[in-house]
């Protein structure tokens, strides 16, 4: 399994796509803040939009990983006619403007209630990916087009097709973001740094091993000092801190499956169940037993 796929398997994300907008300028789309773990997103499938002075065009995707309230618009918001909604496969919102048209698909990424904090911490407040004319975004652009076609011209099976297509959206978005971003924060910063990939691959493949700084540096053919400096610079965390984060994410997935705390602790590298319980509670605020009961 490749590094990004392995990482995303530790942090399950559910994608919902539920609104299709067709606005004629001037228009405004206000979005209230979302709860923790819910990240609203907007696919600009045709036309233009503005967010906080940032221009968005056909093929752009904007995500708010931490659920911040936001406004998209074109023209003077004070002159925009209010949108009205109509039911359908996706709720359809439109207005009565007389200017250029913008089509937007809107939805939410839902992160695991407890286990995805590490992933969310590695994402910026606003994430923008552009697909127009970019070869690395070709698959993402095709996915957007397919979602648009199924939403605008529903046929037999469209609801299931949209659900399945949307489930691939987050992984494609993350891959394209990593390839486009000049700098990537946190956990994703390790994935973006080619020289660190052997080390993070090793930790993901076998989090239960007692990894040392020397062993991880050797995997990347670097000195201990160079590896530690590069890792800290990329992840803003030490290798030991990232290893603990990956171990706890793996533990949460195993607990979700109903595994006993003692078995899970051993599976992620803890010889003492008490030590595992302490580490898990520091990460999630509850012990593994309480977490498993809540998941059940």
Residue 203 DSSP symbol: H
Is 0.85 topped by the overall pTM?
Answer: yes
pLDDT for residue 116 is more than 80: no
Q: Which helix (H) or strand (E) holds 263?
A: helix 261-267
Contact 88, 158 (CB under 8 A): no
Structure-token pair, residue 236: 């803003």
Q: pLDDT class for 114, splitting at 50, 70, 90?
A: low
CATH 2.60.120 domain position(s) in the chain: 11-181
Any idea which fold 11-181 has? Jelly Rolls (2.60.120)
Section 83-112 average pLDDT: 94
Q: pLDDT class for 113, splitting at 50, 70, 90?
A: low
Q: 7-16, 109-118, 124-133, 188-197 — which is least confidently predicted?
A: 109-118
Q: pLDDT class for 120, splitting at 50, 70, 90?
A: confident
Distance of CA 266 to the CA centre of its chain: 29
Sign for the CA dihedral angle at 180, 185, 187, 191 comes to positive
pLDDT given at position 244: 94
Q: How many helices (H) and strands (E) does the chain have?
A: 13, 11
CATH number listed for the domain at residues 187-295: 1.10.10.60
Section 3-14 average pLDDT: 88
CATH 1.10.10.60 domain position(s) in the chain: 187-295
């Amino acid at each position: 399994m490749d590094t990004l796929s392995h990482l995303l398997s530790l942090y399950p994300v559910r994608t919902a796509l539920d609104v299709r907008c067709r606005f004629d300028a001037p228009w405004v789309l206000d979005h209230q803040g979302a709860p923790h773990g819910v990240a609203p997103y907007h696919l600009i499938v045709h036309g233009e939009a503005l967010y906080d002075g940032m221009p968005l065009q056909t093929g752009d995707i904007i995500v708010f990983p931490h659920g911040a309230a936001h406004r998209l618009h074109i023209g003077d918001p004070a002159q925009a006619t209010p949108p009205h909604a109509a039911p359908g496969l996706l709720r359809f919102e439109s207005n009565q403007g007389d200017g250029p048209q913008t089509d937007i698909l809107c939805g939410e990424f839902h992160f695991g209630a407890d286990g995805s904090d590490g992933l969310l911490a590695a994402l910026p407040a606003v994430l923008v990916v552009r697909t127009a004319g970019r070869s690395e975004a070709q698959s993402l652009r095709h996915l957007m087009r397919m979602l648009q076609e199924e939403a605008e011209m529903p046929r037999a099976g469209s609801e299931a097709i949209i659900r399945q297509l949307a489930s691939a959206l987050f992984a494609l978005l993350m891959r394209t973001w990593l390839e486009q971003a000049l700098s990537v924060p946190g956990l994703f910063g390790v994935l973006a740094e080619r020289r660190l990939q052997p080390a993070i691959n090793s930790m993901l493949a076998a989090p239960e091993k007692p990894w040392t700084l020397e062993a991880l540096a050797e995997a990347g053919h670097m000195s201990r000092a160079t590896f530690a400096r590069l890792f800290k610079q990329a992840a803003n965390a030490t290798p030991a801190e990232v290893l603990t984060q990956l171990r706890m994410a793996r533990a949460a997935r195993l607990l979700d499956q109903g595994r006993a705390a003692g078995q899970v602790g051993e599976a992620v590298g803890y010889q003492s169940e008490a030590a595992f319980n302490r580490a898990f509670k520091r990460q999630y605020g509850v012990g593994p037993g309480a977490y498993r009961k809540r998941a059940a």
